[in-house]
Structure 1
């Protein structure tokens, strides 16, 4: 898919219609002398500590009561690796391959043929319509409980193509430290992601310490019905919310009910969330993770097929958002490095 810009909202729409785990207790210690040990000394680290100190110190003009200390984190590319494609897209492609035996017609029908032939270029050419059709077949038509089991089983066994490790090991150690640091200072941390809400909820607490009720994501419509004598929610082939770009403030308002005072992202899909968070009066904080380390992870921004960072990067200085260079500002990226 080199040289092809894949619209995040198109992928999300498609994904919706359709372990070796990292222990926080083992890898993230909120030390009193240095709460962010994997962060290099520099402006980004200082800006985080200064912000937390200002909003949590009683008597400070920037003090924010604990119930209002809401921090919103994008997931893909902000908390874990999103290259060479979004993890949930990899999941969807695998599901199509699993189901292909029941659908021999897919061998000659696009975009299914592209998936079965591992032809990513042809898949990209199918556009939003093809992605929606693809994942309608892979994600919908089952109960929420059935989908949760399928997603949980996949995330426990799937491996990243570059690192040959479970995707759940491809979480960023500095961001785990940041999550723990904020929670230790009275913040409530939320995931606000373009990824599917029911794809993330089964493992978010184990990996990030974020319980399912604090996960905001894209969603499809569901319908209550009696299945085999038992009440169930059936996943329907229809979009409810695309929680990406301008959809993120909408999702925050619907699910959280408070505007965050801190937001963390890495791409143009997080632009409006950062604007929504920092465009209010009082002390606010916005941070962008800039992928600049091709050796330890990946290097990409303006022309990336996934996680494109262009407009938000240009707007960072004017909005006083902190930009973190993974190469320069993180001593370690993954716990295994």
Structure 2
């Protein structure tokens, strides 16, 4: 059976067929990049060993964040840095989801919508963290945006990894009074209120684009309706350390919403892919046409120049002094950055060793790009 990949899918769908797929320019450019990844389209470079012997000429990677072929090293480097940064303290994993009635607003205002999600979640945590009845200190937390369900449905939500406690004004680590840190019902109401407040302000400022079937009055009515129901804010069981959640986030921070191993078969222009269902806890299969599957994958690619993970509190990159103040209280060494793993280190971790065919040296140096 012929083996398919996201790259091969895009190569078949975007060869002069961009107009038929009707996708935004940034998605079309992403598909072009992924289609050309590690092919002659991207050009090539030579690699030499430390002793100057030519080890080979290789095609360049596209380096697009949504490419499932060339982003493994980037994920490993992020995980290596955050494995070293994380405080040796219990962490919580929260998931914030907006109602699916707002998906039309999401489709037409994606940049504004995802920024509003980050604001609503971060301001909710800041407000509760400052309140002495809950914590009265500054925790460290990071927020990661995911836009998909496991079956590639549109499901924008925020994952939050947050320390159990934080630094108070005197610089001492303070633990919360509750095992779950913050009450779930209060988190739900604050997140809902802050998000809908942002919607109303954006309406007043004329910042939103409306879908054909929805106008300002209808969105206002929908916001009022959604303000009276519970939103999905889920508190996972606490983790003894944040590394488990960090590994989960690293898996999805780059490389797209689906990996090549999930593509089961392609026949008669219909693709079958598999996923593990949240509802049944079983592996399910779904069949869609090739053009539809391409659109499903592309709509979950990150917006150009917009980070999908943001950092706050003592985990913010500018707050290293506060981070080290907290680390000292947990008897952790000062964090001053780490030597990120090279692609050779990553290959060694995977059990793959590259050696020079002439002298056996395992150290390689990439030379200037080879002209096409």
TM-score strictly above 0.5: no
**Larger helix share, 1 or 2:** 1
**Larger strand share, 1 or 2:** 2
Structure index of larger Rg: 2
Q: TM-score range by the shorter chain?
A: under 0.3
